[in-house]
Amino acid sequence: MLFIILFLTLILFSFPVSATYDLNGEWLAFDVVGSQVVGRYDKELGIAQITQTNDAIEAIWISLEPKIIQHYGFKVGDAAFYGKIERNKLTGKIHLHYPVSLKASCPNQWALVEDFELIIENIDFIKGKRKNKYLTTRNCTFSKEEWVSFELKRVSSKPQYSNEIKWGNVPNQFGLQEGEEIETFGPHTFSLDTQGNMYVIDSINGNIKMLNEKGEYQRHIDFTGWGSDIITGRNKERFTLDNESLVVHPSSGKRTQHQLSTDIPQVEGYGQGMRLDDRGNLYLCQFQQCYQIGLAKKGKIEKFLSPEEQMENVMPGFPLKDNRLIRTLWKNNHEAVIEIMDEDWAIVQTIPMKTDDVFGQVGFLRQDDKGFLYIEVERITDDNYVHLEVWKYDKTGKRVAVKKLPNDYYSTVYKKIVINSTGTIYQVITTSKGVKIVKW
């Protein structure tokens, strides 16, 4: 049993790249021994992020089961694999840590470096082999090396679902305003609840639409304001930002309206809006500053602060778990930085961000349940196309994934991406035919 577990652990760190293909991205690993399959062939054994630089590669582990990998001496984000490319063959080394229990039994044998060879079949499929050996704890020696086969398959870039709702003025359609001399407007912001239901402001038709977890229309709530942002609380209450007012739609009962301070800079547009911290407190965040507007008790907002109190409760960043704050700073065309602050607002961690292209938007999205950070990045290439991506970072500040997203919108939007507590990405994309609801 120990051999199988160690064998699986070794296999998952073998990842290829070719100089003739762009193989950056996420891959799944499958282990094949002759005609037998270790584990279930249709089950995802793990994911790695591959980074390609000229003729060399590096793979960073992203475990689907972090506690298992940590048990074997790894942390999420550990670099475990390096190699060199020669035509379509890649040769390199895998670095393996054995479990703490084995390290105690065999202190001189707790880490290995093994050889591998990979052949790229095509851009989405790679076959390879690796020298395999396992540790015998009785005398702390290794078994004889054997070459073992495995396969790698690229993670699909297809969404989990995509549903399109047409333009129109009936309840199950979205409103559109367009013309030659006016800006094209449709749905421009949305939110999620904990069940995956989506709430999209349709200011043209005067309502907020509720869509189910598959992006299908369920019902709507009358709303005659503009609504520059919307966020959903733990109890399915919806907070809507409407000019200098906060409109609250509870899960049951009448909606209420609360005054916001006129001294809070209300600049509608991309990257501005509301946030909830892990205790349920509500903030209005503009220009990397967050003004507390709702005070929670046991996860439910019990008091909305007066305009004067709002100006007395200002933070220099977005709320994270454990009373920490985060902010993203654009330094120049090619550099940005993520700053993590403690409860006293002292900077305790700085994470550099770099691109060979030009940074546009660089904004914090959220922290998931496992502590990963998600940053929304707009990257402008030489052809002036604006690429939309989500960069994912672990607790050590290592970038462990980049997700490329479509960025062709038919109308002006204020919020392009929402991420849930498990890291699933949602998009509302406007097209010439309607509104596409996409879950990645």
**Please, are residues 390 and 417 in contact by the beta-carbon 8 Å criterion?**
yes
pLDDT for 288 equals: 80
Q: Is the pTM of the predicted complex or chain greater than 0.75? A: no
Q: In this predicted structure, what is the pLDDT of residue 23?
A: 60
CA atoms within 13 A on the CB side of 348: 13
Mean pLDDT of 399-405: 81
Among 114-128, 240-254, 309-323, the range of highest mean pLDDT: 309-323
Topology (CATH level 3) of domain 161-439: Neuraminidase (2.120.10)
**How far is CA 14 from its chain centroid?**
24
pLDDT tens-digit readout, 228-242? 899 998 888 999 998
Write down the pLDDT at residue 273.
85
101 contacts: CB under 8 Å, gap ≥ 6? none
Q: Enumerate the H helices of 25-121 as residue ranges.
A: 66-71, 100-105
DSSP 156: P
Note the pLDDT of residue 45. Answer: 41
pLDDT mean over 243-272 = 82
Q: Between 90 and 248, where is the model more confident?
A: 248
- Phi and psi at 171, nearest 5°, equal -55, -35
| Cα end-to-end distance, the chain, whole Å | 36
CB 434 within 8 A of CB 165: yes
Residues whose CB is less than 8 angstroms from the CB of residue 118 and which lie 6 or more positions away in sequence, other chains included: 14, 16, 83, 89, 90, 91, 126, 127, 128, 152
Question: Per-residue pLDDT for 19 more than 90?
Answer: no
Task: Give residue-wise pLDDT tens across range 60-114.
Answer: 444 333 333 333 344 444 445 556 666 666 666 666 555 555 566 776 665 556 6
Structural domain boundaries in the chain: 2-154, 161-439
> What does the block give as tokens for 179?
């013309």
Q: Does domain 2-154 have CATH number 2.40.128?
A: yes
